[in-house]
Structure 1
Amino acid sequence: MSNPMKPGERCDFSAIVDRPPLKLPGNARIVFWTIVNYEVWDIGKPMARQLLPAPTGAPLMPDVVHWGWHEYGMRVGCWRFFELYEKLGIKPTLSANARICEDYPRVAEQAKKAGWEFMGHAYEQGPIHKEENQPAMIKRSMDVIEKFTGKRPVGWLGPGLTQTLDTPEHLAEAGVKYIGDWAYDDEPTVIRTQKGPLVTLPYTIELNDIPMMIIQHHESDYLLKRMIDQFDRLYAESEKRAKFCALAIHPYISGQPHRIKYLEQIYDYVNKHEGVLHWNGEQIYDWYKGLAADKIKAAS
């Protein structure tokens, strides 16, 4: 695409203190948005994440050890997630590589049966920058999920939050309505594309078990500590305006036996508070769409 818009050209700068406060339904104060990531790591490609450095300091292929680490999440870890959210009555957003519908139908079927929201997350795990035909990959991902679930995804999250300057156009053209890749605000916003508007939802980079556990190497209980600190501040601010608290997790990380109890304790803590809504991305989008119809129309 010639002359794609830069991020700053897609939306006007807006200081949160200059906006009218958003209000949630009823007496709700804060939305807790859970995003679960189920992915496919192709053994023929470099693995998406590494826990152990290569013995020689150089990446080696095939990387069977990290393929196995991820595979644990699909064979074991994800079932701890299913059990937790069934017990809590929460239907999270599933950030899904479309290939899980083909490679892990048992897992994908369980998410479908549980009523989780499927959000597009590329066809398989890998940076969008390396896609030879990005529009075709995005369309394929959306089509595969739609065929499997019977419903076209409304949302999208780039693998590793990767995107190029023209990705928003490709997403809008494929039917995406909201994205999580722009973690730049506490509230949903509207951005312009040449194919129509997109809504950004307040996703999280730091309340994410990849940077916290795998990159920063914190102890297992640190996810709980940081989540409490994040939630406490947002909840206090939610007395005056609606707030959104996102948590992003992966079954090969937070689904491990030594971490799962801290994930469970997060929900124990959050659910002691009044006015908490456990919405998925589509629910947030539908609510915001009703409030921001003028903004969405102006960006069309």
Structure 2
Amino acid sequence: MPHERFDYSPITARRPWRLPKGARIAVWTIVNVEEWDIETPTARQYLTAPQGVTTVPDVPNWAWHDYGMRVGFWRMLEALGKRKIRATTSINANVVRSYEPVARAMLDAGWEFMGHGVTQGAMHLLADQRAAVREAIKLLRDFTGKPPQGWLGPGLTETWETLDILAEEGIAYVSDWVNDDQPYEIRTTAGTLVSVPYTLELNDIPTMVIQHHESSYWQERVRDQFDRLYLEGARNPRVMAIAVHPYIHGVPHRIKYFEAAYDYIRKHRGVWLTTGEEIYEWYKRTAQSSEPPPRRVAGGARARTAATPTRSRVTRD
């Protein structure tokens, strides 16, 4: 356990955390919008290479992703817009150049832009991680008019130095650490970051692509997860993340299950449909941590150690 970053905190021992208007649960949607480089092996394969030999260009797998940008994204944008859900986009920053209409549509819809690297590639493979973080922040700041507050590593990847670099470059919250149902503080060399809960369980990469569940199963899992967190949230509110990709849930045979999941959630009272940024800002304003006072990590990572207005809504009916 990385004790230099955070302490163990059982959720049953924490003070109750209040959400806006007494909501039981904060539900945030993360639409992962990515750029895959056709000149390198694809980031993810849906169709295995013939005879086990990876090809470049990998036309079918690259095009599988590109379908999400050309078609699937627009289905998801419409579905969320009809339900007045403001999403967070975890975005490869170069998308603002290579798929500018997609980025513009998200900006016009009021979505939060969350840092997700420059293009889709693991953080631990980068030659200069800090330079990539800076480039991603600059591209998003120049396009949206403000720097991103949040960061999700491509593939949730980090090195021991990543958290320090992110804090030093002005990032306020991260979502790589899927180990809680509430936000908590992470110590770095530059003060604290906040971990805002993300998800593997409701992420369509594991459920659809890796585990090969039927399309309808994802909706069932969303409902089951929501029901339990909603129940527990009556005592101490919870955060629920829904993580999706346009090339997976934007396809014709899955979009109805995507829509149905939100229709189910919206039927409940006391649900805060929100963004990662708003969860972070609310937590910083209101949380009374039972943890010891935050301290900085001395000298770096493990090897070196021995407010914007709330624009989302709480459902009332």
**Cα distance in structure 1, aligned partners of 2:293 and 2:144:** 29
**Cα distance in structure 2, aligned partners of 1:189 and 1:27:** 20
**Cα distance in structure 2, aligned partners of 1:57 and 1:183:** 33
**Cα distance in structure 2, aligned partners of 1:243 and 1:140:** 34
- 1:13 maps to 2:8: yes
Runs of 4+ in 1 over 3 A off after TM superposition: 292-297
Describe the shift of the 1:48–1:296 C-alpha distance in structure 2 as closer, same or farther (beyond 3 A): farther
Alignment of 1:42-81 (within 5 A): 42-81=37-76
**Cα distance in structure 1, aligned partners of 2:190 and 2:21:** 35
Write out per-residue CA displacement over residues 207-231 of structure 1, whole angstroms, 9 at most, x where no aligned residue.
1000100011111111101111101
- Counterpart in the other structure of 1:282: 277
Describe the shift of the 1:199–1:117 C-alpha distance in structure 2 as closer, same or farther (beyond 3 A): same
Q: Give the AA of the match of 1:194.
A: T
CA contact (8 A) 2:18 2:286 kept: no
CA contact (8 A) 2:204 2:218 kept: yes
- Counterpart in the other structure of 1:3: none
Between the two proteins, the alignment pairs up a number of residues equal to: 295
Q: Give the AA of the match of 2:255.
A: I
CA displacement at 1:297 relative to structure 2: 6.8
CA contact (8 A) 1:39 1:100 kept: yes
- Of residues 93, 97, 109 in structure 1, which corresponds to 2:88? 93
CA displacement at 1:45 relative to structure 2: 1.3
CA displacement at 1:293 relative to structure 2: 7.3
Where do 5+ consecutive residues of structure 2 fail to align?
297-317
CA contact (8 A) 1:191 1:299 kept: no
CA displacement at 1:7 relative to structure 2: 2.8
**Cα distance in structure 1, aligned partners of 2:127 and 2:283:** 34
**Cα distance in structure 2, aligned partners of 1:259 and 1:296:** 45
Q: Aligned residues: percent identity? A: 52
- Counterpart in the other structure of 1:291: 286
- Of residues 233, 246, 269 in structure 2, which corresponds to 1:251? 246
- Counterpart in the other structure of 1:33: 28
**Cα distance in structure 2, aligned partners of 1:73 and 1:38:** 9
CA contact (8 A) 1:190 1:299 kept: no
**Cα distance in structure 1, aligned partners of 2:127 and 2:80:** 37
**Equivalent position SS for 2:39:** coil
RMSD: 1.4
**Cα distance in structure 1, aligned partners of 2:224 and 2:155:** 24
- Counterpart in the other structure of 2:181: 186
CA contact (8 A) 1:209 1:248 kept: yes
**Cα distance in structure 2, aligned partners of 1:296 and 1:76:** 49
Q: Give the AA of the match of 1:77.
A: G
CA contact (8 A) 1:91 1:114 kept: yes
**Cα distance in structure 2, aligned partners of 1:299 and 1:46:** 42
Q: Give the AA of the match of 2:294.
A: A
**Cα distance in structure 1, aligned partners of 2:217 and 2:77:** 22
**Cα distance in structure 1, aligned partners of 2:66 and 2:20:** 40
**Equivalent position SS for 1:267:** helix
- Counterpart in the other structure of 1:127: 122
Q: Give the AA of the match of 1:97.
A: N
- Counterpart in the other structure of 2:299: none
- Of residues 130, 137, 140 in structure 1, which corresponds to 2:132? 137
**Cα distance in structure 2, aligned partners of 1:25 and 1:232:** 20
Write out per-residue CA displacement over residues 241-275 of structure 1, whole angstroms, 9 at most, x where no aligned residue.
11111100000000000000000000110011100
Alignment of 1:185-224 (within 5 A): 185-224=180-219
